[in-house]
Amino acid sequence: MSSYSEDDAFEAAVPLSRRAMAARPAPYLDDLNPAQRQAVEALEGPVLMLAGAGTGKTKALTARIVHLLTTGSARPNEVLAVTFTNKAAREMKNRVGRMLGETVEGMPWLGTFHAICVKLLRRHAELVGLKSNFTILDTDDQIRLLKQLISASNIDDKRWPARMLSGIIDQWKNRAWTPEKVPAAEASAYNNRGTELYDQYQRRLRELNAVDFGDLLLHMVTIFQTHPDVLDQYQRWFRYILVDEYQDTNVAQYLWLRLLAGGHKNICCVGDDDQSIYGWRGAEVGNILRFEKDFPGATVVRLEQNYRSTAHILAAAGGVIRGNEGRLGKELWTEAQDGEKVRLIGHWDGEEEARWIGEEIEAMQRGTRGGRPVSLDEMAILVRASHQMRAFEDRFLTIGLPYRVIGGPRFYERLEIRDAMAYFRLVVSPSDDLAFERIVNTPKRGLGDKAQQKIQMCAREHGTSLLDGARILLQDKGLTGKGAARLAAFVEQIDRWHPIATAQAAAPQPMDEDALIMDDSAPARPAVSHMELAEVMLDESGYTAMWQADKTPEAPGRLENLKELIKALESFDNLQGFLEHVSLIMDNESEQEGAKVSIMTLHAAKGLEFPAVFLPGWEDGLFPSQRSMDESGLKGLEEERRLAYVGITRAEELCTISFAGNRRVFGQWQSALPSRFIDELPEDHVDVLTPPGLYGGGYGAAAAPQSNLHDRAAEANVYNSPGWRRMQARAGQRPIAQPRESRAPVIDLDAVSAYTVGDRVFHQKFGYGAIAAIEGDKLSVDFEKAGVKKVVAKFIMGADDVPF
Ligand code: ATP
Ligand code: MG
């Protein structure tokens, strides 16, 4: 449970001296172009600034606040300014302070919708049946509460999970529907019981004197709609309303704003329809397109000059977003120099991509790649999916490159990663009590607090670990019923996995595909690799299934993170080695001072800017995300394209897009096609780089200029080499995304069993050799350096096909 402490915003207000202000020059106006100035100076009445990325919307909005204060039109506490994140609110507050040349006292109503609504709701809680000291439930509490209601209603929560209901309720709240207002068309939701349970849930929250996040807005909208006197009070109090990133407001936020602005209509909204990226959370881009209808006579300001990016970057972004239909279609221009073209590079795999970006960053920092030295603070890596961060974090930790993750925990701090690692820890060292505690009832095994206390007591009594304590407790029949059976199963699993993990730690050096090498001379090794073991543990314990059954928006991301975790194991010999690596990482993590590279998702990058931006993972299926296309079709694809636009337009001077031909998912190679957005980049503004190590290496050794970008990038990339295709064919694997019809198939089936005795071949670990014998799908190869080994055919390629 969390609670907010807030200053009393109304009392704290300190009026600024009009005279002192009037005597100052207004440098904040001199910095603006005429259109921005118009938006700043048109203080009365509605104003809409609808303009593309980097055109100075946020800057103008900030200047408008300063203008309101300096001209004495409003006191700091009479300005309601809404930003999308707390970070943006802090930045805006600081900027206002800098522009005014003094720290701003007050400005209590500059913040996110949620932060502002908490303050308001505390003042009027009794109007919706709450006390002013209500608590705000986090997601876990919310789910627990829903579960109670579900089980009391005799609903099978396996078929109808609580998280599904919580997702439905959130969406309803985003639309400002109280239980009475949920339309009849939604009656079938959650097996026809959705509305009824929503109603019960709201009642229960009231009894508990609690709200969830969605309630903060919902209750305020209800209060304003049902208490005209209260609304009137705030309409007069908030004399000016300003909203940044208006394209991402949902219906509840929109209604709330419209109610508050309903009197004086002094509302200034800024946004960009091309940057609407929260449709999946209920944002309605229609809100911004409807502004002129909602507020007739609005001053509409269009900004077209971009001040952020070089001409090449701007043109590349413009080329991509042109693929969307039904947009307003703004053209941006810049006075900035052409600068460097957007760079495009394809890599063999995700690890190689991370390594290359790490080297680029170091070279840029030192200034050895040409151009000025760039500080780490000036560089950012923007990913589509948070699981992509792992490869970068690992790489940067290895080379000691300081980084920060913005907008979320670092990879190894994530809930699901910590859970999974607790399984690994317990299996490696069964006396790790902390690990035991963490997972004994995760997923739920019916071992609540009471059962866990019994285990604790038993362990203490016998002076053993918790795992042994559990064993003794079971023997002594100290625990009975369903919980006992499931605890027994859990203990049995750990006992079964422990010797395998130990054997792996004792065995010599396995490498990736070693599990499949039939080398008679090698000492005995466990039949399964540590990666397989990890996968088995997460599956058989029910941990993976727990997230598969979870219907919250975060669940798919958590499953992807788990896959990524398995991938991370690949570089280690066994679980123990991996755990040591992670504990070192966590040890290193103490906040270093100084400049750091930022890593964040594209969603978290909205509104920000960096001189150098890396955009990795541009592969169909990852970006655009397959899930988003499956769930929302063309609408989903267009939202993905807007994300691409947001990504490119974060860059001021240098933008580097990359993709990997292969990613390893659960120990299996999967090949991927470059993102369709790569095809949409205008060629004249892009340089295709050749990855180091290929064709003698060296950047800029671009391929044939006539072919299109996609082909050029693909040609420059190993994934398209005949050898790779043949390997794919032998592995018989499906690419992450289906190739589009217009493209040549990547898989060349004829290549299977293409070998004869005497062929010269290449193996990633053993190097070159000649085939001595063929037995089924296994080849006996006489390697030049390693001698005779039996290898599986799919892990070798013809010596002529080796691309480097
Ligand atoms: P986004 O759509 O990405 O949120 P934005 O429209 O809000 O972008 P800002 O972040 O306000 O754009 O401005 C982009 C950059 O351009 C900032 O570095 C800002 O200082 C600069 N800038 C804006 N207006 C001007 C101007 N008139 N003269 C010089 N620089 C400007
Ligand atoms: Mg902005």
Q: Select from 407, 400, 366 the least CA-distant residue to 383.
A: 407
Rounded CA gap, 729 and 726, in Å?
5
Give the mean pLDDT of 187-191.
91
- pLDDT at residue 526 in the model: 58
Evaluate if residue 209 carries a pLDDT over 60: yes
What are φ and ψ of residue 200, in 5° steps?
-60, -40
Split at pLDDT 50, 70, 90, the class of 709 is low
Closest ligand 1 atom to the C-alpha of 272? 2
Residues 6 or more apart whose CB falls under 8 angstroms from that of 324 comprise 274, 638, 641, 642
Q: Report domain extents, the chain.
A: 27-119+220-305, 136-208, 342-402+599-722, 413-577, 746-801
User: For 136-208, CATH number?
Assistant: 1.10.10.160
Q: Which protein residue has the closest C-alpha to ligand 1 atom 27?
A: 32
Measure the CA dihedral 687/692/694/695, to 10°.
Answer: 80
Residues 6 or more apart whose CB falls under 8 angstroms from that of 779 comprise 755, 761, 771, 773, 790, 791, 792, 793, 796
The answer to which of 391-405, 675-689, 742-756, 767-781 has the lowest mean pLDDT is: 742-756
Give the mean pLDDT of 686-703.
53
Look over the chain and give the mean of its residue pLDDT values, rounded to a whole number.
82
Would the CATH topology of 413-577 be identical to that of 746-801?
no
**How many C-beta atoms surround the C-beta of residue 199 within 10 A?**
14
Ligand number, closest to the Cα atom of 317: 1
**How many C-beta atoms surround the C-beta of residue 634 within 10 A?**
10
Q: Which protein residue has the closest C-alpha to ligand 1 atom 20?
A: 59
* Residues β-bridged to residue 768: 762
Split at pLDDT 50, 70, 90, the class of 507 is low
Higher pLDDT pick, 666 / 483: 483
244 labelled catalytic: yes
pLDDT tens digits, one per residue of 565-604: 998 888 788 898 888 777 766 655 445 578 999 999 999 9
7 labelled catalytic: no
- The pTM assigned to this predicted structure is 0.72
342-402+599-722 topology per CATH = Rossmann fold (3.40.50)
Pocket test for ligand 1, best of 99, 246, 308 (most atoms within 8 A of CB): 308
Eight-class DSSP state of 659: E
- pLDDT at residue 406 in the model: 83
Which H or E run includes 10?
none
Q: Select from 621, 703, 628, 612 the least CA-distant residue to 659.
A: 621
Cβ(305) to ligand 1 under 6 A? no
Evaluate if residue 678 carries a pLDDT over 50: yes
- pLDDT at residue 329 in the model: 81
What residues does the ion ligand 2 have nearby, CB within 5 Å? 58, 607
Cβ(607) to ligand 1 under 6 A? yes
Cβ(647) to ligand 1 under 6 A? no
Q: Which protein residue has the closest C-alpha to ligand 1 atom 15?
A: 308
Per cent of the chain over pLDDT 70 is 81
Q: Are 246 and 288 in contact (CB under 8 A)?
A: yes
CA of 345 to the centre of ligand 1 (A): 29
Split at pLDDT 50, 70, 90, the class of 434 is confident
Ligand number, closest to the Cα atom of 62: 1
The answer to which of 97-111, 177-191, 567-581 has the lowest mean pLDDT is: 97-111
Alpha-carbon distances of 123 from 133, 236, 324, rounded to whole Å: 10, 16, 44
Q: Which protein residue has the closest C-alpha to ligand 1 atom 31?
A: 307
Which of 64-78, 403-417, 569-583 has the largest mean confidence?
Answer: 64-78
Split at pLDDT 50, 70, 90, the class of 703 is very low
Rounded CA gap, 540 and 557, in Å?
20
CA of 32 to the centre of ligand 1 (A): 10
Q: Are 208 and 287 in contact (CB under 8 A)?
A: no
Evaluate if residue 738 carries a pLDDT over 60: no
Rounded CA gap, 768 and 761, in Å?
6
pLDDT tens digits, one per residue of 211-259: 998 999 999 999 999 999 999 999 999 999 999 999 999 999 999 999 9
452 labelled catalytic: no
Which H or E run includes 629?
helix 626-648
Give the mean pLDDT of 408-417.
83
Pocket test for ligand 1, best of 58, 62, 96, 98 (most atoms within 8 A of CB): 58
Give the mean pLDDT of 438-449.
92
57 labelled catalytic: yes
- pLDDT at residue 3 in the model: 37
Structure tokens at 252: 């509840």
Asked: is 27-119+220-305 a CATH 3.90.1530.10 domain? The reply is: no
pLDDT tens digits, one per residue of 251-299: 999 999 999 999 999 999 999 999 999 888 888 888 888 999 999 999 9
Structure tokens at 508: 């010599």
- pLDDT at residue 360 in the model: 95
Split at pLDDT 50, 70, 90, the class of 333 is very high
413-577 topology per CATH = PCRA; domain 4 (1.10.486)
Alpha-carbon distances of 481 from 312, 416, 436, 478, rounded to whole Å: 68, 29, 21, 10
User: For 746-801, CATH number?
Assistant: 2.30.30
Which H or E run includes 293?
helix 291-294
Cβ(718) to ligand 1 under 6 A? no
Evaluate if residue 803 carries a pLDDT over 80: no
Evaluate if residue 721 carries a pLDDT over 50: no
Evaluate if residue 450 carries a pLDDT over 80: yes
Cβ(36) to ligand 1 under 6 A? yes
Rounded CA gap, 690 and 670, in Å?
22
Closest ligand 1 atom to the C-alpha of 646? 3
Higher pLDDT pick, 77 / 690: 77
